[in-house]
Amino acid sequence: MTTMFEPWTLTTEQREIVKLCRDFAEKEIRPRGRQVDEADVITPVDIFQKAAKVGITDYMIPEDFGGGGFTDVFTQCLVQEELCWGDPGIGNLVCSNGFFSDPLLALGTEEQKEKWLRPLTGTSPVMTALATTEPGSGSDAASIITYAIKVDGGYKINGQKAWISNAGAADQYVVFAKTDRNERSKGVTAFLVKKDAPGLTWGEPMKKMGQRAIVCRELFFDNVFVPDEDRLGDEGQGFYGLMKTFDISRTVLGAAAVGSARAAYEFALDYARTRTQFGKPIIEHQAVAFRLADMANRIESARLLVLHAARSIDAGYDSTGVAAMAKLTASEMAMFVTHAAIQTLGGWGYSREFPVEQWMRDVKLEEIEEGTSDIMRLVISRNL
């Protein structure tokens, strides 16, 4: 599918990384999508390592700390679209360290950035995780009950997290906990925690509908000590840091949805050109042709909104509303397109012989993570 952003509108560096990611998605990610989905709860660490060797896992980290230096959200969206065209779950896994680095870049000191970002770079990076969600706290992030008590030289964290991507596989965590349990958002503080911290444990992998490349587990904190130097930002600043990074992550996830939808659309289009019914290719039947037209139209519309949101963030504007619009529009578009792809393939679309049923299961997550569609509408309405 063509895009409004043809190569001549991009810098040489942007064209190069987009081509790199497109080639990697085609040769390394797409061929493994079904295998990883069937494996269910096994993180494809080998693909993550291959991506690291060609510079994809740390491209979003500043050069000062050993990364690729593509810190602008616009480039991150271009990359995410290509990788998730290969496979939504694997594409998001490959770039998952960006979710850890965003709050660190927003709240961290230079010393913290050097200590915690440097291990994410190079050809053998560690994996990371962001720990916010709890069994009783999802969309209402300010209602978390995991708490951190001030002790001599630092804090002790107690509580439980749920649905934490890469938990167990990750070596480094950004953990959000209440330092003032009488407050909501103003009582939330962020902490940097290593996997081997005494008292930190995790549960069994959680069985999921899709995006199985990213394994989720519960985390348990039993008097986990965190030194003062590993508190991220000031006390009570954690929620601010989380919300600040949501604009970026929601926009990038919108790009992931666009890439996933593009894959389903292209697969359905090729099928419609070759599948014959009633004496002619089904693309020549108006019902199928119009469905494909709607798919193409919605993909292009969502892509433009996602890239508009990215440009808005990069320009320094207050982008909370438009970022929510981008995620809402792109995620719901992706559900429509993957559903339409299955309809186009008919019975074969329902079969696991073809990838479109998996892609529909995968993209459903984009309507839920980083704020459900209901929450996106709430955010948009508050920014009108």
Catalytic residue ranges? 370
Tokens 């030194």 sit on residue = 227
* Runs of H (alpha helix) within 315-382: 320-345, 347-350, 356-364, 373-382
CA distance 215 to 219: 13
* Local structure of 172: helix, strand or coil: strand
CA distance 112 to 104: 8
CA distance 214 to 41: 8
As given in the structure block, the two tokens for residue 98 are: 């960006």
Q: Is 276 exposed, middle or buried (0-12, 13-18, 19+ CB in 10 A)?
A: exposed
Taking a C-beta distance cutoff of 8 angstroms, is the pair 319, 309 a contact? yes
CA distance 112 to 91: 27
Taking a C-beta distance cutoff of 8 angstroms, is the pair 177, 191 a contact? yes
